[in-house]
Amino acid sequence: MIILGISEGYHDAGVTILNDTEIISASHSERYSRIKNDKWAAPEQLVQADTIAYYEDPQLKNKRRIFAGQSAVDCKTEYDVYYPHHMTHAAAGYYTAPFDDCNIIVVDAIGEFDTVSIWDNMTMIKSWQYPYSLGLLYTAVTKRIGYTPNCDEYITMAMAAHGEPIHNMEWLLQENNHKGIDSLFPSACSKDLAASVQQLYENKLLELVDLCPKKNIILMGGCALNCVANSKIKGKNIWIMPSPGDAGSSLGAAALVQKKKLNWTDPYLGYNIDREVNPREVVDQLLKAPTGVANGRAEFGPRALGNRSLLADPRKDVKVIVNTIKQREQFRPFAPAILEEYSKEYFSGPMNRYMQFVAKAKHDYKSVTHIDGTARVQIVEKENKSILRPILEEWYERTGCPMLLNTSLNIKGQPIVNNEKDAEAFSKQYGVKVF
C-alpha cells in the first residue's frame, strides 16, 4: 500500500512516501524548489498513491486564521484523509520512536488552535490553545531582534548565550503575537531579549515534562529543535524525530493511515546523489581548507548529518572563515561531529546522532565551542550509513583528532544543497571543493 503524506499550504512543506511501514522517501520541499521554507510540495516529490494523507484540518486552520486577523489560505492539496495538526506531530515521533510506552510533548507556534499538547502514547490528555503559544512568542522575539520569523529562531537560541534573561515575558504568552512585539521593550538589548525568551521557554518545557509520569518522552513540534532547552531535561529517555517541525508532519500524517510502527533506521531519506567518494581525497582537501560533501541520500530535517555538510578542521581558528562562506553572523557557533567512541573523552553531557542536545566541552577547540562552553554534538557511530563515518576515521588516523566541524552545505537564507546541480553551483559560487 503506497501512502503519500503531505504537509503544505502554510509553512515549510514536506512530503513522505510509505510502502506499508517502509519509508521510501521523506524530504523538505524547499530543497527541490530552492525557495526557503517553501509552503508548497514540489512536483518531483509526488507519486501515485493508494492514500493521500494531509497534516491538519484545513477548514479549522482557516477558521483560526480569520479569528486571529489573518487571511485564509486555499489548500491546493487533493487528499483522501486529514488528521489534526498536533496529532501528526505526535505520530511522526511515536511511530519512529525506539520505544512504545511513552508521553509525547508537542510544542509549536500553532496548527489549528492547539499550541501545546501532552499525549499518553497516541491519546491526547492535555492541551493549550491559541492565543497561548510558546512557539509564537519565540517567533515574535525573533522578529523583534531583526531576524526572519518561522526561519531564524535558531539564531535567537544562539544569541541567548550572549545576553541576560532580565525581561519578564510570561504575560505575552496570552497575547496574539501574530501582530509581533516590535513596539515593546523599546530600549532593550537584542541579546537580553533572546536570553529572556530562551529562559522562559526552558522553564515552561520543564513544567511540561513534570506533567509526564512516564520514563520515555517524545518531543515534537518545531520547538523540539531547541537543543539547549532539551538538554535541561533530566532522568528521561528522550526521542526527537530529526524533522520534528511541519515538514516532518508529512511523515506523521502518512503513519496515521495504518497506525503501525515504521521501519525507522536513519534520517537519510531524501534525494540520492549516487557517486563514489574517496575519504582520503576528502581529508587531503580538509587539511587545506573547509570542504563540502554532497553524497548519498539527503537528511530529513533541517540539520546536516554528513551527507550534505560543510566540514572543517576544528583544531584551527576557522570560525570566521566558515561563517564568512555561509554569510552568517560571526557570533553563531558551529557543531562538532565526533567518532562515538571518543565522544566522552571530549564532551560531558547529553549527546546523540542528530545534534538535538548540547554538552560541555572538555577541549579547547574554539571553532566548535559556543561562548558558554557548550557544543551541539553529533556522535557518529560505527553503524552510521553516512559518508561522514569513513571520513572521520581517515581524519583521525591522519591527525589524531576524532572530530570535524560540521555545518549544513548552504548559505544563510537558502535551502541546503539537494542534488548534483546544487552542489556544483555551490562549489563555483563560494569557492568550496564539494565531493
Domains and CATH numbers, the chain: 1-96+243-264 (3.30.420), 99-240 (3.30.420.40), 268-430 (3.90.870.20)
Question: For the residues 265-289, what does the mean pLDDT come to?
Answer: 97
pLDDT digits 0-9 by tens, 157-181: 999 999 999 999 999 999 999 889 9
pLDDT for position 283: 98
Give 235's pLDDT tier (boundaries 50, 70, 90). Answer: very high
User: C-alpha dihedral over 241, 243, 244, 249, to 10 degrees?
Assistant: -110
294 pLDDT above the threshold of 90: yes
CB atoms inside a 10 Å sphere around CB 174: 11
pLDDT digits 0-9 by tens, 341-391: 999 999 999 999 999 999 999 999 999 999 999 999 999 999 998 999 999
Q: What is the residue-averaged pLDDT of the chain?
A: 96
Question: For the residues 126-133, what does the mean pLDDT come to?
Answer: 97
pLDDT for position 197: 98
Q: Are 309 and 300 in contact (CB under 8 A)?
A: no
Question: How many residues belong to the chain?
Answer: 435
How far is residue 92's CA from residue 404's CA, in Å, rounded to a whole number?
A: 30
- Tell me the residue type at 90: A
Cell numbers that stand for 267 in this block: 534520517
Query: How many C-alpha atoms does 45 have within 13 Å on its Cβ side?
Result: 28
pLDDT digits 0-9 by tens, 313-340: 999 999 999 999 999 999 998 999 999 9
Give 76's pLDDT tier (boundaries 50, 70, 90). Answer: confident
Q: Which residues of 51-78 are buried (b: 16+ CB within 10 A; e: fewer)?
A: bbbbbbbbeebbebbeebeeeeeebebe
pLDDT for position 77: 87
How far is residue 154's CA from residue 150's CA, in Å, rounded to a whole number?
A: 10
pTM of the model: 0.96
Q: Which residues of 148-166 are buried (b: 16+ CB within 10 A; e: fewer)?
A: ebbbbbbbbbbbbbbbebe
pLDDT for position 74: 86
As beta bridge partners, residue 299 has: 268
Give 75's pLDDT tier (boundaries 50, 70, 90). Answer: confident
Distance (Å) of CA 276 to CA 283, 381, 390: 15, 21, 12
259 pLDDT above the threshold of 90: yes
Q: Are 325 and 310 in contact (CB under 8 A)?
A: yes
3-state secondary structure the chain: CEEEEEECCCCCCEEEEEECCEEEEEEECHHHHCCCCCCCCCHHHCCCCCEEEECCCHHHHHHHHHHCCCCCCCCCCCCCEECCHHHHHHHHHHCCCCCCCCEEEEECCCCCCEEEEEEECCEEEEEEECCCCHHHHHHHHHHHCCCCCCCCHHHHHHHHCCCCCCCCCHHHHHCCHHHCCCCCCCCCCHHHHHHHHHHHHHHHHHHHHHCCCCCEEEEECHHHHCHHHHCCCCCCEEECCCCCCCCCHHHHHHHHHHCCCCCCCCCEEEEEECCCCCHHHHHHHHCCCCEEEECEEEECCCCCCCCEEEEECCCCCCHHHHHHHHCCCCCCCCEEEEEHHHHHHHEECCCECCCCCCEEECCCCHHHCCCCCEECCEEECCCCCCCHHHHHHHHHHHHCCCEEEEEECCCCCCCCCCCHHHHHHHHHHHCCCEC
pLDDT digits 0-9 by tens, 80-111: 999 999 999 999 999 999 999 999 999 999 99
pLDDT for position 178: 87
How far is residue 20's CA from residue 339's CA, in Å, rounded to a whole number?
A: 34
Question: For the residues 5-32, what does the mean pLDDT come to?
Answer: 97
How far is residue 348's CA from residue 363's CA, in Å, rounded to a whole number?
A: 11
